[in-house]
Amino acid sequence: MEKEQYAIVGRVVDVIKGVTIDQGVVVTEGNRIIGVGAVSNVVVPSGAAVIRAPEKGTILPGFIDCHGHLAGTSDDTWFNVRREDALLRGVRDVRQLLDSGFTTIREMSIYGAPLRRAIEKGYFVGPRIITGGQVLSVTAGHGDTDTGLPLEYAKDNPLCLLVDGVDECVKGVRKQFRNGADFIKVCATGGVSSQSDGLDDVQFSDEELRAIVAEAKRHGSYVAAHCIGTAGTLQALHAGVETVEHGCMLDEECVTWMATHGVSLVTTLSIAMNVAKSMRVPEWMRRKAAGVMQKTVRAFSMAKAAGINIALGTDYTNTKNSPFAHIGNEFLAIAECGFSNMEALQIGTINAARAIRMDEEVGSLEIGKFADIVISSDDATQDLKAVSTCDGICFTMKDGKVIKNTI
């Protein structure tokens, strides 16, 4: 059976070099890129189907969300949704990610593994899913989001598993890998959406965190850490985590450690902006979100100056405060923190791929990589609004298959 071939012609964005090729072409065969560069320098197979980008459009690598949740939630809590209903919502959610140009997501919930299996079997289309399974949290910590519930209901929910003590921590890690996890996520500090803790609260003991990291490494994997407060972030870094999620209160010691040890920083800026202004959430949550945003710009400026790999994450769940149709707003939020348009696009592509150990396969338009390609109707290098909503994305290819084409 012959492999499908495509020649995608137009303004190509080279995120490795940070430049555009105005009269460029990307050639695909099957699920891989086999040619890329100026039209005059690339041989296009005679049988290739030609896709021409709009005159003002840009051809980009598929976007990567390093921090999302395919939890199929409603707009209230994690607990008021039947799990079978949530999983079906997940089928809807993964398609919306593709329509918005996101061809890869690193997510945290119990639904990532079954959704990935179904996508790989061809039951429906969806992005590449890198799943962490349930997030590990201590009792009364950030993952214990609804303390009004009896502990037996809150302890083991679709998003989080509450673990206390070294033995429970190790068993929790093993449970996630048994269920198909690719990495482990922990809540190292307090957070915005949890009422029972402060942003600066340190959650795990040193022994607990080290045990989690050691067990993840024993499985050939790594740990991503939810980090808001400075003390808990430092504790997580010293324990050996590989990515810092949020990182809103980084200080010079945190930044120096991250730069020295190659730890990536994952954004999630637009969700905090949304929650800080939302009247759909409690006042205490808005207050926490506003407090986070006051310190975030400084933290990200320090990280940028130190040369830390900064990767796009959204923390979106496809609820009213975080709709997947507007998931590209993270690019705009990144730019508001002092990054250029090209830097923002790099953060959402090649930097993100590096953060999740996939830069040899995705994140840029290079020969040999997966054919994950997005076209925006307008020039994203000039205006990031071109990629901020699903309406701005006119073409999505994932794994060499055309998923969306409204050109």
Domains and CATH numbers, the chain: 5-61+364-405 (2.30.40.10), 63-355 (3.20.20.140)
Answer yes or no: are the C-beta atoms of 226 and 204 closer than 8 Å. no
| DSSP designation for 3 | P
For helices 283-305 and 252-261, what crossing angle results, to 10°? 60
Q: pLDDT tens, 43-77? A: 999 999 999 999 999 999 999 999 999 987 765 55
Q: What angle do CA 262, 266, 267 make, to 5 degrees?
A: 145
Residue 77: predicted pLDDT: 55
pLDDT attached to residue 79: 57
Nearest to 225 by CA among 139, 108, 317: 108
Find the distance separating the first CA and the last CA of the chain, reported in whole Å: 28
What is the full per-residue pLDDT of the chain (407 aa) written as tens digits?
689 999 999 999 999 999 999 999 999 999 999 999 999 999 999 999 999 999 999 999 999 999 999 987 765 555 567 888 889 999 999 999 999 999 999 999 999 999 999 999 999 999 999 999 999 999 988 888 777 777 777 788 888 999 999 999 999 999 999 999 999 999 999 877 777 777 788 999 999 999 999 999 999 999 999 999 999 999 999 999 999 999 999 999 999 999 999 999 999 999 887 777 777 777 877 887 777 777 898 999 999 999 999 999 999 999 888 899 999 999 999 999 999 999 999 999 999 999 999 999 999 999 999 999 999 999 999 999 999 999 999 999 999 999 999 99
Q: Which of 49, 69, 53, 73 has the alpha carbon at shortest distance from 12? A: 53
Check residue 291 and give its pLDDT: 77
No. of helices (H) and no. of strands (E), the chain = 12, 18
